[in-house]
Structures are given as C-alpha cells and as structure tokens.
Amino acid sequence: MSNILEVKNLSFGYKKDFLLFDDFSITLKKGEIKAIVGASGAGKSTLFELILSNLKPFLGSIKIASCSEVFQDPYSSFHPSYSLLNQISDVAPLDEMNLYLKSLDLDYELLKKLPHELSGGQLQRASILRAMLMKPELLLLDEPTSALDNVIQLEVMSMLMKHLDSMGMLLITHDLDLAKWCADEIIII
C-alpha cells in the first residue's frame, strides 16, 4: 500500500537557531490514524501548515495525496456572509450528504444558515461534513472534536473511523485518551 503522506527529514523553526522540527519524519497510509500530541506551542498546528505548503521547511520533503482539513477554529473556516450549504457546495458535491448528516447530528435546514447563527459545535460538525464530502485520501484533523460534548465526540470519531477504507487521518489532539482510543500510532512532539 502506498503512502498518502510522506514527511522526510523535516527541519523547521520560526527562528533559525530554535527548531520546532529537526530531522522529523512521518508516513501515513490509507486505513491508518496517527495522532500528534504535544503541549501548546510544540508545533502541532505548524506541522499541518507545513504539510499544506502554507509554510516552507528549511530542509526535508513533503509528499501528500488529495487532502482536506478540519481546523480547530470552525469560525475561521467559513466565510461569514454565505450560508454553510453554499460554501460546502462550492467545494464538494452534495449527493452523499445524507450519509453524514445523522451521524454528525446535523439538520439540513441548519446548513442554510450563516456561520454566526450556529454554535461552535454545530459549525465544527459542518466543517467535518465539508471535509468528508470532498472525498480526500488524507484527512488532517486539528482538534476536530474539542468543541463537542463527549457523546457527540464519540459519534463523530466513530463515523470518521468507518471511512478508513478510503482514507487515512492525521489527528492533532490534546486529548491523550482520544488518541489512545482511535490512533494506530501516537507521536508526541
């Protein structure tokens, strides 16, 4: 099985004399969940920015398959002036949306609203919906369930895990129990 993510010998820091990553490597295949766990400021979100080519590494290489992401702050993930449904349909077909709505505890009518009309948890689940409808080979998840209560968190992660036959997931979390429950490997940075 080929890798959907290959990070080799990555070196990066915001200051040349203080590296967040020094010769860091990770690979991910379809069917795998790997969790990145670490203290605030350790570089977890920076790693995603590097993977998405929003930042350039000092050294190393990054190869990535088709990807979608769920960021920690759902309010920054949607434009405030357009309905969620419009924004989701701009990037993904809606034909499989009903497969996800129930497991994400979302109502279709809710998606017709503007982002500020939803709670943080509802907006985060809409962000997960959008990412799933994009049919990625790699799903990058930055604290995707932190705004959800424990029951919904479990349902959402269970739903995501049911799709591991078609993708792999790289999960950033502060929740070590969540990482232990769902990840094939936990990488502490």
pLDDT tens track of the chain, all 189 residues? 589 999 999 999 998 788 999 999 999 999 999 999 988 888 998 999 999 999 999 999 999 999 999 988 888 889 999 999 999 999 999 999 998 998 888 999 999 999 999 998 899 999 999 999 999 999 999 988 877 778 888 888 888 999 899 999 999 988 888 899 999 999 998
Residue 1: the pLDDT is: 56
**Dist CA 17 CA 20 (whole Å):** 10
Residue with tokens 């943080």: 120
Cα 31 from chain centroid (whole Å): 15
**Dist CA 115 CA 81 (whole Å):** 8
Residue with tokens 């795998």: 32
Residue 41: the pLDDT is: 83
**Dist CA 173 CA 146 (whole Å):** 8
Domains defined for the chain, CATH in brackets: 3-188 (3.40.50.300)
Residue 40: the pLDDT is: 84
Packed helices 120-133 and 84-91: angle between N→C axes, nearest 10 degrees: 20
